[in-house]
Amino acid sequence: MSDDGQSSVPDAELRIAVAFTGGLSLAVWMGGVARELNLLTTAARADASGTPAGLVRARYKRLLDLLRLDVSVDVLSGTSAGGINAALLGLATVRGCDLGGLRSLWLDEGGLGTLLRDLDEPRPPSLLRGEERLLRGLETGLKTVFDDQVKGLDREKGLDREKGLDGEKGLDGEKGLDTGGDATPGLAPSPRSDSDPDPTQVFITTTFLGGMPHPFRDDYGSTVHDRDHRGLFRFTADALRRRETIGALARAARSSASYPVAFEPTFIPVGEPTHRRPDMSPHLVRPPATQFCADGGLLANRPIGPALQAVFDRPATRQVRRVLAYVVPSADGAAEPTVPPPLPDDVPSLGPVLLKVFGVVTSQSISAELSALAAHNERVRSRLRAETRLARMAVRGADLGDEELRQEHRGKHIRSLARAVAEETLGQMIACGAGPDDRPVGFGPDLDRLTAGAVTVIESAAPPPEALPEGAAVFDALARFGRPLLDGGKATVLRLLRESAAQAPADIRTALEEQVGKVHAAMPQRSAPDLRGAVRPVVEAVLGRVPPDDDPVGTVIRSPGWGDAITGQLPAAGELPALADAWRTMAGAVLDTRRLFPGDGRGENDQDAEWPVLLAYLVGDRTGVRPEGEPGDPPAPDAVARRLFDLLAAQRVIFPDEQAARQRVELIQMSADTRTLLDDRQTAAQKLTGLQLHHFGAFFKRSWRANDWMWGRLDGAGWLVHVLLSPQRLKQLADEGVPVGKRLREIAGTDAPRGVLTAGPGGEPAELAFLTADVAPGLPASLPQTSMWVALGLQRLIAAEELPCVAEQAEADQKAGGALAAADFLQRFRRRYPDPRQPVDPDTVDEFLRACRISEETFRREKDSRLLKHTVSHAAVVTANAVRATVDRWSWRLLFGGVSRALRLAHAVRRRI
């Protein structure tokens, strides 16, 4: 309960998927954004604390309490150095850990002086130490995060959200009622849900140097040979909870950050551990043969695709707000000046051409992913409209449930299960290079043969019935379709409950919330058979004993173990009673909704709301059957379940290749090109040092990394507040009597600037005027001015925590021989805070942040510094050693050997100066 008597129990949810791009040292800025995501998602459940992190969490919690919002991060993807941040944030999210140690990881392990190879290494495979230093630092950092759980978050028992127990949601994405059981600190108890036993996923891209064979045939029977070099690691929440996964997670992040020349390629064992390296096949989406990997940004530097696909693949069992955060420090070409076209004689030299070509390779367009996002959102709208139209047709007399439709649905259901097994089997056989007479597996009818074989196994086991029985036996029959059909039915029933409660009186709304809780609680825990683990020993056994000229596909089909893997996709006998009970509960929820709305569910014309049409169909009301206002005799629960099945079957037949999309996805680009009321810098170029030296810049000095980390947190907080302050949500709260303006002022810590609650400087309307308007012309798309104001309170706390670190690192750089560009800032800061342990007053940070101009330091200003000369000479020696080891002719080796020795001598002299 808030101070003004308003309830603060969350009744809405925001799910955030995060895509971290590549960017080399710009990953330090992205790490700051990851830190803010970590603080936001742990704010509601963490114990109160007076630490700097605790104060920031408390401010986030006040905002979440106002919005009555539950926030989670459940899908993360990363490429290149962004994969490191995705791995660490994913682990912290699943384990409920504090990510504050990520700053020290970047400060200590992200320096060129630390990463550069030893001068005496005769044949260096790269300039920087990947296995010896980066990988070991990642393992240490991941272990630190793994053990640093936030007080108040008990992930060992399992939080509802992180285990996919998202049954707390009810109406409009709202939580159901308290059903008892153990409560998580800071959260109202919620019913156990079924839909996502393992929702949190981390995707990390890489580039296979050897690739995977991907042959196919053209229309004339000729073989087209192709190789796919795109690699993708996937870590589930179940894997991230286990300490033994840390080694594989660190190796995946290291492989994605293996920038050519800078770091050596990463060895990825597939099949079994080798040479003290873990087997990576359980975490690869498509396992290749054992090989080396390079930077994930070479072929996928914009990892939106994996995040989008994971979002689309999640079961749509309820309506929640879904946001995809595209984290990119600075968009390509965002601030490029206009230049005149080149002349024919302006041919660029070799060096700039190579750099430009490499930049083109790693700066892929994201238009395809954005088109997929738009298409997905359109499918959401069209599927909901289609469901309503089918129900309306049935209300008007059409028959959805004929036997032909049911038979077609059953066939598609069985074939989808069979196809999943067939594709997994074929993928593993292709990876192993199986095939007779030099013909790789995958040509011709191999996939069709495997699919047909799997269908035969399912039909001979315990498939769904060909016809639905009459009476109560229909529930047992529906249970044999397993979870896919049950999830679809649950999505439709929750849609009915949510939409019918939107404008309902309080007593009816409460009753519908109870039904939501019952539906969620009735769902059995989803079983997740390990299809890859079941198929793998079968394929290995077959390929190990079948001669090359035999038929490996046929042998696999005849293998008893393969049949066991197929039947494992069907619901087990022990699961059927719980599945049947879930169908009974959903039918009961529909009947209780009819009781709450007597005579209001017939859907007589196209202008009716959609939920009455659904209700009229499910309970069997036809237009003109009964007078308005007379409820009539309620139908039997089995009749409701049968109609629900017919509606789902019709949609499956009409949209055979699409999942039942129910959630729209909003896209927001989180970059450093953003404003804050604390400082006048507005672009990444004005804030970040990591943009220098082709994005290697922040690796040079500790203070540069501390600066970029601080700005990552400041910018991240601003963007997160921008996402949280939904105009629709604020309007809903204001209509309920919540003093939104007053509560926002308490969070911001200062009065609102002009343009938020009052007219702007140019006479433009107040941004929050819609909260009090009797008739609003329409809600704004976003609230940029309000967001900057509200974020100010958070950003002052962040700056108070980070400025002492920036000052400490600047002093360390000066001692190491760096230029004294930060002297003015240090003088001011130490005059006010001479003791490094003295807490910084957040009300004083404005002056010091504006004085902190480390972002203006450049390599040109460092050209005479001892630190730069030392770093350059060290890098030159390593480069000469690497080139000498690469060339073949003895004369070139002699030349570069002499260069190496001369540079090594010069470096030793400089170190003594």
For the range 438-442, what are the long-range contacts, defined as Cβ-Cβ under 8 Å and sequence gap of 24 or more?
A: 440/213, 440/215, 441/552, 441/553, 442/215, 442/216
CA dihedral 759, 764, 768, 774 (to 10 degrees): 90
Q: Which two tokens stand for residue 619?
A: 């309970």
**Measured distance CA(314)–CA(661) in Å, rounded:** 9
List 8, 80, 190, 281, catalytic entry: 80
Q: What is the number of other CB atoms lying within 10 angstroms of the CB of residue 345?
A: 5
- Residue 500 appears among annotated catalytic residues: no
Of 861, 803, 736, whose CA–CA distance to 6 is shortest? 736
Q: Which two tokens stand for residue 797?
A: 């706390």
The kind and range of the H/E element at 61 are helix 52-67
Q: At what angle do helices 82-95 and 246-256 cross, to 10 degrees?
A: 160
**Measured distance CA(526)–CA(522) in Å, rounded:** 12
Distances (CA, A) of 23 to 664, 690, 858: 29, 9, 18
**Is there a contact between 97 and 141 (Cβ–Cβ < 8 Å)?**
no
The DSSP-derived string for 125-185 is SSSB-IIIIIIHHHHHHHHHHHH-BPTT--TTT--TTTTT--TTB-TTS-B-----SPPPT
List 172, 194, 198, 295, catalytic entry: 295
**Measured distance CA(8)–CA(61) in Å, rounded:** 10
Half-sphere exposure for 250 (CA within 13 Å, toward CB) = 24
781: amino acid identity, one letter: A
**Residue 517 main-chain phi, psi, to 5 deg:** -60, -40
Length of the chain: 913
**Is there a contact between 38 and 89 (Cβ–Cβ < 8 Å)?**
yes
Q: Which residue bears the tokens 């079941």?
A: 534
CA dihedral 818, 824, 828, 831 (to 10 degrees): 60
- List the Cα angle 82/86/87 in 5-degree steps: 115
**Measured distance CA(157)–CA(405) in Å, rounded:** 45
**Helices and strands, counts by H and E, the chain:** 32, 10
**Is there a contact between 317 and 164 (Cβ–Cβ < 8 Å)?**
no
**Measured distance CA(249)–CA(868) in Å, rounded:** 34
3-state secondary structure labels for all residues of 764-824: CCCCCHHHCCCCCCCCCCCCHHHHHHHHHHHHHHHHHHHHHHHHHHHHHHHHCCCCCCCHH
Assign 75 to helix, strand or coil: strand
Q: Which two tokens stand for residue 432?
A: 């192993």
**Measured distance CA(387)–CA(421) in Å, rounded:** 30
- Residue 345 appears among annotated catalytic residues: no
Chain-centre distance of CA 832, in angstroms?
42
The dihedral built from the CA positions of residue 871, 873, 876 and 877, taken in this order, carries a sign that is: negative
Of 734, 736, 745, 743, whose CA–CA distance to 769 is shortest? 734
3-state secondary structure labels for all residues of 816-846: CCCCCCCHHHHHHHHHHCCCCCCCCCHHHHH
**Measured distance CA(129)–CA(135) in Å, rounded:** 9
Catalytic center residues: 80, 295
